Chains A and B, each alone.
Chain A
């Protein structure tokens, strides 16, 4: 029996285990059926994202561009002093984050990577989670990957963290006892009280969400869903979020980066 068949048989046998705590039966979305939530937006919202003069996320990107070349910290250096023109040096970088950091032995997301460089190289204090500055610089860096395929590093050291992220995505939680996968793997495309359930591919982060009236990170979006499940959200920067971000980027591998995405 091949591992794939064995897995299928194991899944098929699950409903027979009465009373056990079962994992979600969600099957991952076949690669060729994946779609960005962009596809489900109104024509107006699509036009807003597509046109840089109307995309409100671009304002954050422009702030980020300014920060990129502003000296910071005891080093007196700017990002540009070491990395040069972000248009070439940062191309594809966001598409391969979270990436493995040998020092901490863990994956780091792009925000953490930026803050690490601020501390280690610029000798500057890290930006606060979800601060305007961190979102702006992250958006500027991530926009250099716009149009590039999501490309999670082929790094075996990341594998266990992808699995943790996958387990979290499939774990039931909160008063409503839901998992992420129950909506985003099993019921995407259906209407949740009038809103199309997206597949949850993080291709446009940081996104400008009209509901927020601001740029926001993937961690903020994950917190929103946890609050909807009536679950206790993790604190910003929690390892659980980074592992979920890693899993979601792996799940979106090959899809096109859209930063700064616009979402309702």
Chain B
């Protein structure tokens, strides 16, 4: 009986793991001061995330990516982002820019609620993982000029 109850709990829990819950974070002013994962990101991996097409960054932004033929100009260049913003400011702008400006075209890269008609294969998933957010923040912080 105990085992049956345990199995039931596991079955009920299964859909929840399919829709991975986001890590909690605290907003202070216009920043998320602390790393989402608790660990610092890796700038080199962060650059790779930024230039990857599925990440969608370069659809709208350009930056110091001479090898990337296709870059957008709907949004400011990422050049100098690490000089214009603090780490915590960049983190909130990646996680949920709409919190600062509801009309922004910048997607919320770490958010799964309050969205409409999300395609089935993306449902319940953020655009980037917490690790990827930290890697991108670490990379952007290196863009000082």
Q: Which residues of A contact B (CB under 8 A)?
A: 14-15, 19-22, 24-25, 171-178, 182-183, 186-187, 190-194, 197, 226-227, 230-233
Contacts and interface: CB of A to CB of B under 8 A. Distances in A.
B108 A177 contact: yes
20 contacts: A15-B103, A19-B102, A20-B102, A22-B102, A22-B103, A172-B115, A172-B116, A173-B118, A176-B127, A183-B74, A193-B59, A193-B70, A193-B71, A193-B72, A194-B69, A194-B71, A197-B74, A230-B122, A231-B117, A231-B118
A55 B69 CA distance: 29
Identify whether the interface residues of A are mostly helix, strand, loop, or mixed. Answer: loop
A108 B118 CA distance: 27
A178 B107 contact: yes
Given A22-B102, A25-B103, A174 B70 contact: no
Nearest to B60: A192
Contacts of B74: 183, 187, 190-192, 197
Contacts of B102: 19-22
Interface string B99-123: 0001101011000001111111010
A203 to B, nearest CB: 24
Interface residues of B, number: 27
Interface of B: 53, 56, 58-60, 69-74, 98, 102-103, 105, 107-108, 114-120, 122, 125, 127
A21 B125 CA distance: 21
A193 B107 CA distance: 16
Given A172-B116, A176-B127, A231-B117, A24 B72 contact: no
